């Protein structure tokens, strides 16, 4: 289920996806590009691929796109994201290393100051390859 929050005075929209499964599994299996692979918890907002997404403002498509997703891709291009291939960013550590969802490469924006970042959870291990997401 998706809930949309619209701020018409700023012409912005936030979509909140309500899940009945593990959120990270949904992100890794369902999202069509790495720039969408972000999630929020009560602790903060996390970006799994922050260098390529936030610093480089790029998109790496990881699965075949539906017509609706191709329209969304155009929307992100209009917002300043560049479509690049995995080969363009493979040199970045966030791509060629086995990862966890709270490893040192994930960028976290805290929603409060009470949470310590010591001893982060390392439950899901994954690697992005030309075949998509692989679990290790």
Structure letter (DSSP) for residue 76: H
Structure letter (DSSP) for residue 126: E
Given a contact cutoff of 8 angstroms between Cβ atoms, the answer to whether 94 and 52 are in contact is: yes
**Could you give the number of structural domains in the chain?**
1
Residues sharing a CB contact under 8 Å with residue 10, sequence separation 6 or more, in sequence order: none
Give residue 77's pLDDT.
92
Rg (CA), the chain: 15
Give residue 121's pLDDT.
36
pTM above 0.95, yes or no: no
Give per-residue pLDDT as tens, 7-62: 777 777 777 777 777 777 777 778 888 888 888 777 777 888 989 988 898 999 88
Q: Is the dihedral of CA 68, 72, 28, 64 positive or negative?
A: positive
Give residue 58's pLDDT.
92
Parent domain of 95: 2-135
């Amino acid at each position: 289920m998706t809930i949309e929050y619209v701020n018409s005075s700023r012409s912005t929209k936030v979509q909140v996806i309500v899940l009945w499964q593990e959120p990270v599994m949904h992100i890794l299996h369902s999202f069509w590009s790495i720039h969408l692979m972000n999630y929020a918890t009560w602790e903060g907002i996390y970006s799994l691929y922050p260098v390529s997404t936030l610093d480089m403002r790029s998109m790496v498509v990881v699965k075949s796109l539906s017509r609706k997703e191709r329209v969304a891709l155009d929307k992100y291009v209009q917002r300043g994201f560049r479509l690049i291939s995995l080969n363009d960013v493979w040199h970045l550590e966030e791509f060629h290393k086995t990862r966890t969802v709270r490893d040192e490469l994930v960028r976290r924006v805290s929603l409060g100051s009470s949470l310590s970042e010591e001893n982060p959870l390392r439950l899901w291990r994954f690697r992005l390859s030309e075949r998509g997401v692989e679990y290790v």
